[in-house]
Chain A
């Protein structure tokens, strides 16, 4: 089974509107972290936001927020007030076994290509 599933290969959003990018995960580990990265066409990977499995509140970072539903094992990324520069690939990733150390590998989903229309 896939550990990270992103079901939307591509999405369009109108500039200035909000958009939700889906991510579901699969783990039996009680201690894990979920991450979102942005990959523009230039190729670099940019860290956006993090949610820990024990965090009581949904994470927010500027225009990015994470809709974390632990029982449903989903960690959707919400981008508010979309901008043209938000057009990119977005990857959801998970790190398991956080109680061991900070060096655990990230497992990535297949990504969602977001296209912002002017």
Chain B
């Protein structure tokens, strides 16, 4: 079964450094997402991406963050000038198109990668 893959599985970075988290979504999916989960807390939405642009973003996703789809397969999250509070598990997810002929709604789940654990020292 196709899956979302994320690299690296664990990233340790000094505070103030830039970090790039990489994701390869499922190949026929068109919608891409980043979420984060601070240790022991709920999963929080960061950003969604469709048709080569951001479609939605949360308050967390400020100027420190950016996303890019540099080629046909990768989807990256860049965090500039990392802070201690950026330490978290970062999940990439992807989903496919809406299901046709269903009165206009979609039941397509978002499939998550295994996450990248980011530790800021």
B45 to chain A: closest CB distance in Å?
4
Are the C-beta atoms of B112 and A102 separated by less than 8 Å? no
Q: How far is the CA of A31 from the CA of B45 in the complex (A)?
A: 20
- A105 contacts across to B, CB distance below 8 A: 33, 45, 48, 56, 58
Q: Which of A33, A54, A107 contacts B45 (CB 8 A)?
A: A107
**Interface on chain B toward A: helix, strand, loop, or mixed SS?**
loop
Size class of the A contact interface (CB-based, 8 Å): 20 to 34
A35 within 8 A of B: yes
Q: Which of B30, B45, B58, B115 contacts A43 (CB 8 A)?
A: B115
B43 within 8 A of A: yes
Query: What is A's interface to B at a CB cutoff of 8 Å?
Result: 31, 33, 35, 37, 42-47, 50, 52-54, 91, 93, 98-99, 101-111
* Residue on B nearest A97 in the bound complex, by CB: B105
How many residues on chain B are close to A (CB under 8 Å)? 35
Are the C-beta atoms of B109 and A35 separated by less than 8 Å? yes
Are the C-beta atoms of B104 and A31 separated by less than 8 Å? yes
Are the C-beta atoms of B97 and A102 separated by less than 8 Å? yes
A48 to chain B: closest CB distance in Å?
9
Are the C-beta atoms of A104 and B48 separated by less than 8 Å? yes
Are the C-beta atoms of B42 and A44 separated by less than 8 Å? no
Q: How far is the CA of A17 from the CA of B91 in the complex (A)?
A: 32
